[in-house]
Amino acid sequence: MMDATVRARVDSDLKQEAEAIFKKLGLNTSQAIVMFLNMVKLQNGIPFDMKIPNKETLKAMQEAKEFKGEKISLKDL
Protein backbone atom coordinates (compact mmCIF):
# COMPACT_ATOMS: atom_id res chain seq x y z
CA MET A 1 0.00 0.00 0.00
CA MET A 2 1.39 3.40 -1.00
CA ASP A 3 0.72 5.45 2.11
CA ALA A 4 3.96 7.32 2.84
CA THR A 5 5.49 10.44 1.34
CA VAL A 6 9.21 10.97 0.73
CA ARG A 7 10.46 14.54 0.33
CA ALA A 8 13.94 15.70 -0.55
CA ARG A 9 15.47 19.01 -1.60
CA VAL A 10 17.78 18.71 -4.60
CA ASP A 11 19.45 21.02 -7.08
CA SER A 12 16.92 21.98 -9.77
CA ASP A 13 19.36 21.20 -12.61
CA LEU A 14 19.99 17.73 -11.18
CA LYS A 15 16.25 17.14 -10.89
CA GLN A 16 15.61 18.19 -14.50
CA GLU A 17 18.46 16.10 -15.88
CA ALA A 18 17.40 13.04 -13.90
CA GLU A 19 13.76 13.48 -14.95
CA ALA A 20 14.82 13.61 -18.61
CA ILE A 21 16.59 10.28 -18.17
CA PHE A 22 13.62 8.79 -16.32
CA LYS A 23 11.35 9.89 -19.16
CA LYS A 24 13.55 8.08 -21.71
CA LEU A 25 13.23 4.98 -19.52
CA GLY A 26 9.45 5.35 -19.33
CA LEU A 27 9.49 6.31 -15.65
CA ASN A 28 8.49 9.28 -13.58
CA THR A 29 10.45 10.49 -10.56
CA SER A 30 8.19 8.73 -8.04
CA GLN A 31 8.59 5.41 -9.84
CA ALA A 32 12.37 5.83 -9.96
CA ILE A 33 12.52 6.59 -6.23
CA VAL A 34 10.37 3.56 -5.42
CA MET A 35 12.71 1.42 -7.56
CA PHE A 36 15.72 2.81 -5.69
CA LEU A 37 14.13 2.10 -2.30
CA ASN A 38 13.22 -1.43 -3.38
CA MET A 39 16.83 -2.05 -4.42
CA VAL A 40 18.05 -0.73 -1.05
CA LYS A 41 15.73 -3.22 0.63
CA LEU A 42 16.70 -6.09 -1.70
CA GLN A 43 20.45 -5.52 -1.34
CA ASN A 44 20.25 -4.47 2.30
CA GLY A 45 22.27 -1.34 1.49
CA ILE A 46 22.94 1.31 -1.12
CA PRO A 47 22.60 -0.38 -4.55
CA PHE A 48 25.90 0.93 -5.91
CA ASP A 49 29.49 1.00 -4.70
CA MET A 50 30.37 3.76 -2.27
CA LYS A 51 34.06 3.99 -1.54
CA ILE A 52 36.35 6.42 0.19
CA PRO A 53 39.02 7.31 -2.39
CA ASN A 54 42.63 6.47 -1.60
CA LYS A 55 45.43 9.09 -1.61
CA GLU A 56 46.30 8.51 -5.27
CA THR A 57 42.69 8.90 -6.37
CA LEU A 58 42.24 12.02 -4.21
CA LYS A 59 45.36 13.54 -5.80
CA ALA A 60 44.08 12.77 -9.31
CA MET A 61 40.69 14.26 -8.45
CA GLN A 62 42.32 17.43 -7.14
CA GLU A 63 44.55 17.70 -10.22
CA ALA A 64 41.52 17.31 -12.45
CA LYS A 65 39.72 20.09 -10.57
CA GLU A 66 42.75 22.34 -10.95
CA PHE A 67 43.52 21.20 -14.52
CA LYS A 68 46.95 20.02 -13.37
CA GLY A 69 48.83 16.93 -14.33
CA GLU A 70 50.32 15.59 -17.51
CA LYS A 71 48.75 16.82 -20.73
CA ILE A 72 48.39 14.28 -23.51
CA SER A 73 47.46 15.11 -27.08
CA LEU A 74 45.59 12.85 -29.46
CA LYS A 75 48.89 12.29 -31.29
CA ASP A 76 50.37 10.91 -28.07
CA LEU A 77 47.64 8.29 -27.89
The domain limits of the chain are 12-66
pLDDT given for residue 47 in this prediction: 94
Burial class (CB in 10 A: 0-12, 13-18, 19+), 17: exposed
pLDDT in tens, the chain (77 residues): 889 999 999 999 999 999 999 999 999 999 999 999 999 999 999 999 888 889 998 998 888 888 766 777 788 77
